[in-house]
């Protein structure tokens, strides 16, 4: 059992280090204070760890869960969409309800699945585009700090791709300490983990602008691919309903404390569900148990992580986030333009989403997908089977 245990520990550590800054940045963009953002990160770590442990033990399959990284990027892109963090929490709750209903009512999941994958990919790419160009801007505006991060990422992406983002994060942390004069923790109490409950506010504009795109992005770019990846590793009997119901319930539990969304792992599923975890498929579920334990432990450091982020130059955080999301951006772009008949609707979707336009208080993710669907319907393009 040593091999799957180690695989789970490494997978969770890499996934956490690669994306926690994106989660904190997304929650901050929604109006969260550093303490509230840390609360959201802690809540996500706890619920996704417990859910993974329970379902993996019950079904003896490597069912790992994580926060929605593309969803966090969406929150960054939707900066200013929520007047208060409480309104964002209301949107998180609505997203959790939709995820839960998807598990209980399969027709909703099929409806999301009918969105052409090129349009879903284009929406994801449009959301991630502003973040992925951040390292370029940072290399010009803050070269002394950003360039070492980029160089380390580039070198390790060639030699050891899995460690590229975590290593870049280490270099960024060193830069944060230097930038903060060696004192990144100016408030010792803020470093301690704490769950801070919020009273949700249900703003219709925020629900349309944040909750619906968050749900679609989480389903289309995480849950649906997550099931597909497990199938490619030989798990043909994945318990779809318990997974979706569990992810929805976990999202609902995390939302009042600032967590945005929980989903089946897709971006790092190969670490816990693939041959690297164990040659025998029947033993890989153990990797999800160790991964779950690591997430719960790392959640206790959410306050320290938020303290670092609070004292760091924004360009430096954007650099790490942008490098971490390049893989997801490439996935979105590839899906968007792989089918020639759908390239025009996909391009429209990408351009509108990437523009960041806000109309009637509703963000560009909603309008971009709507524009793409409208053009798709108008052109009468037939989807490739």
- The torsion angles phi and psi of 362, rounded to 5 degrees, stand at -110, 135
Give the percent of the chain with pLDDT over 90.
Answer: 41
Question: Does the structure show a pLDDT above 90 at 128?
Answer: no
Pairing between β-strand 65-67 and β-strand 262-264 as defined by DSSP bridges: antiparallel
Beta bridge partners of 26: none
Tokens representing 230 are: 């497990």
- The torsion angles phi and psi of 330, rounded to 5 degrees, stand at -60, -40
pTM score of the predicted model: 0.82
Residue-wise pLDDT for 291-316, tens only, equals 999 999 989 888 887 877 776 777 88
| pLDDT in the model for residue 270 | 66
Question: Does the structure show a pLDDT above 80 at 381?
Answer: no
Contact yes or no for 8/294 (Cβ under 8 A): yes
Please compute the mean of the pLDDT values over residues 3-26 and round it to a whole number. Answer: 84
Distances (CA, A) of 191 to 37, 42, 162, 309, 311: 12, 12, 28, 12, 12
Please list the helix, strand and coil fractions of the chain in percent, rounded to the nearest 5, in that order: 75, 0, 25
| pLDDT in the model for residue 43 | 96
Residues with Cβ within 8 Å of 139's Cβ and at least 6 positions away in sequence, in order, are: 146, 147, 150, 319
Residue-wise pLDDT for 248-290, tens only, equals 999 999 999 999 999 998 766 667 777 877 888 888 899 899 9
| pLDDT in the model for residue 332 | 85
| pLDDT in the model for residue 184 | 52
Please compute the mean of the pLDDT values over residues 160-167 and round it to a whole number. Answer: 83
Of 131-135, 177-181, 275-279, 318-322, which has the strongest mean pLDDT? Answer: 131-135
Kindly state the greatest CA–CA separation across the chain: 60
Question: Does the structure show a pLDDT above 70 at 200?
Answer: yes
| pLDDT in the model for residue 190 | 56
- Which one has a higher pLDDT value, 360 or 169? 169
Give the percent of the chain with pLDDT over 70.
Answer: 94
- Which one has a higher pLDDT value, 225 or 76? 76
Q: Report which of 216, 214, 212, 231 is spatially closest to residue 116, judged by C-alpha positions.
A: 216
Least confident of 47-51, 146-150, 377-381: 377-381
Residue-wise pLDDT for 238-252, tens only, equals 898 999 999 999 999
Instruction: Grade residue 385 by pLDDT with cuts at 50, 70 and 90.
Output: very low
Spatial distance between the Cα atoms of 201 and 88, rounded to a whole number of angstroms: 8
Question: Does the structure show a pLDDT above 60 at 151?
Answer: yes
Mean pLDDT in the chain? Answer: 86
- Which one has a higher pLDDT value, 257 or 112? 257
| pLDDT in the model for residue 221 | 80
Spatial distance between the Cα atoms of 125 and 70, rounded to a whole number of angstroms: 9
Please compute the mean of the pLDDT values over residues 22-27 and round it to a whole number. Answer: 92
- Which one has a higher pLDDT value, 198 or 167? 198
Burial of 222 (0-12, 13-18, 19+ CB in 10 A): buried
- Which one has a higher pLDDT value, 355 or 15? 355
Spatial distance between the Cα atoms of 171 and 177, rounded to a whole number of angstroms: 10
In the chain, where the domains are located: 2-133+188-310+325-379
Q: Indicate the helix (H) or strand (E) that contains 5.
A: helix 2-29
| pLDDT in the model for residue 256 | 97
Question: Does the structure show a pLDDT above 60 at 24?
Answer: yes
Question: Does the structure show a pLDDT above 90 at 168?
Answer: no
DSSP state of 383: P
| pLDDT in the model for residue 180 | 63
Residue-wise pLDDT for 204-258, tens only, equals 999 999 999 999 989 888 888 888 788 878 888 889 899 999 999 999 999 999 9
Contact yes or no for 225/120 (Cβ under 8 A): no
Cα angle: 298, vertex 300, 301; to 5 degrees: 70
| pLDDT in the model for residue 363 | 76
- The 3-class secondary structure across 220-268, one letter per residue, is HHHHHHHHHHHHHCCCCCCCHHHHHHHHHHHHHHHHHHCCCCEEECCCC
Instruction: Grade residue 170 by pLDDT with cuts at 50, 70 and 90.
Output: confident
Burial of 311 (0-12, 13-18, 19+ CB in 10 A): middle
Distances (CA, A) of 333 to 128, 351, 375: 10, 12, 18
Tokens representing 180 are: 């903060």
Contact yes or no for 254/49 (Cβ under 8 A): no
Spatial distance between the Cα atoms of 119 and 372, rounded to a whole number of angstroms: 7
Question: What 3-state class would DSSP assign to 66?
Answer: strand
């Amino acid at each position: 059992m040593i091999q799957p245990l180690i695989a789970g520990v490494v997978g969770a550590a890499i996934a956490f280090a690669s994306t926690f800054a994106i989660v904190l940045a997304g929650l901050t963009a929604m109006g969260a204070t550093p303490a509230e953002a840390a609360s959201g990160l802690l809540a996500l770590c706890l619920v996704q760890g417990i859910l993974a442990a329970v379902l993996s033990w019950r079904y003896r399959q490597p069912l790992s869960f994580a926060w929605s990284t593309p969803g966090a990027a969406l929150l960054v892109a939707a900066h200013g969409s929520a007047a208060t963090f409480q309104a964002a929490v209301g949107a998180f709750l609505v997203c959790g309800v939709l995820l839960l209903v998807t598990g209980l009512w399969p027709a909703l999941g099929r409806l999301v699945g009918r969105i052409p994958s090129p349009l879903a990919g284009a929406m994801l790419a449009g959301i991630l585009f502003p973040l992925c160009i951040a390292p370029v801007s940072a290399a010009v505006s803050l070269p002394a700090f950003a360039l070492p991060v980029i160089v380390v990422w580039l070198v390790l992406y060639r030699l050891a791709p899995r460690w590229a983002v975590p290593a870049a994060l280490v270099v960024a942390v060193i830069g944060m300490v230097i930038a903060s004069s060696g004192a990144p923790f100016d408030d010792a109490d803020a470093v301690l983990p704490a769950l801070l409950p919020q009273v949700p506010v249900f703003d219709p504009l925020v629900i349309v602008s944040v909750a619906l795109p968050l749900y679609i992005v989480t389903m289309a770019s995480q849950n649906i691919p997550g099931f597909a990846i497990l199938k490619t590793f030989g798990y043909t009997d994945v318990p779809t309903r318990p997974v979706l119901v569990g992810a929805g319930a976990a999202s609902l539990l995390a939302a009042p404390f600032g967590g945005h969304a929980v989903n089946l792992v897709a971006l790092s599923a190969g670490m816990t569900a693939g041959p690297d975890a164990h040659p025998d498929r029947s033993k890989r579920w153990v990797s999800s148990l160790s991964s779950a334990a690591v997430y719960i432990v790392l959640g206790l450091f959410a306050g320290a992580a938020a303290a670092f982020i609070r004292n760091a130059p924004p360009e430096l955080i954007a650099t790490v986030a942008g490098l971490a999301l390049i893989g997801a951006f490439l996935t979105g772009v590839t899906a968007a333009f792989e089918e020639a008949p759908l390239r025009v609707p996909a391009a429209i979707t990408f351009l509108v989403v990437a523009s960041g336009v806000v109309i009637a208080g509703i963000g560009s993710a909603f309008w971009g997908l709507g524009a793409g669907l409208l053009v798709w319907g108008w052109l009468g393009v037939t989807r490739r089977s």
